Chains A and B, each alone.
Chain A
Amino acid sequence: MASSESPARAKSVRSAAARAALAIRSEAQDDQTDAHSGADGDDYDAASQTPSGRRVRRNTTTSATLVTRNKLTSSDKSTPPALALPIDNLVPDLEDLVADAARVRVSGRHSPDYHHFATPASRERVHDAILVWYDAHFRKLPWRRDFHNQPTTTDEKPGQRAYEVWVSEIMCQQTQVATVIPYYNAWMAKWPTIEDLAAADIEDVNKQWTGLGYYSRASRLHSGAQKVLNDFNGVLPSDPVVLEKEVPGIGRYTAGAIASQAYNVPAELVDGNVIRVLSRLRAIGGDVKSPKVIDLHWKIAKELVHQNRPGCFNQGLMELGATVCTPQNPKCGECPVQSSCRAYAEMLDNQESRQEAFKAFENRSTRADDRDDNTTEACKLCVPQEDMELRDQELLTQYPRKACAVSILERIRKGPNGKPTSEFLLVKRPEKGLLAGMWEFPTVEQSQLRADHNQPDTPSTYKQRSESSQRYLVNKFKFDWIKTCKDIQRRDLGSVQHLFSHIRKVYHAEWVLVVDGDGVGNVGRDEGKKNKKAAGEGLEVEWLTAAELGTAAIPTGINKTFQLLQKYKARAGNDVDESSSGRKRKKLEVPEDVAMKAKKVKKEDGLADISKFFKPSAK
Chain B
Amino acid sequence: MYSGASEIARQVDAAFYWIGGICVVLLIGITAVMVLFVIRYRRARRPEAVQIEGSLPLEVTWIVVPTLIVLFMFFKGYEGFKLMRAVPEDAQVVEVVGQRWFWTFIYPEQGITSDRLYAPVGRPIKLEMTAPADDVVHSLYLPAFRVKEDCVPGKKSYLWFQPEQEGRYHIFCAEYCGKDHSRMITELVVLSPEQYLAWLGRKVSDRNKPVVMAQAMDPDSAEIKERDGAALFKTFCVSCHGPEGLGGLVENARDFTKLEGWKRSSRWRITWRRSTREATGRKPRPRRSSSSTWTSVWARSRSRDGPFPLNRRRGRTSRTPAAQTARPTAVAWADRQSHAAAARSGRGKERKQRCWRPFST
Pair from one complex: no
Residues of A participating in the B interface, judged by any CB pair closer than 8 Å: none
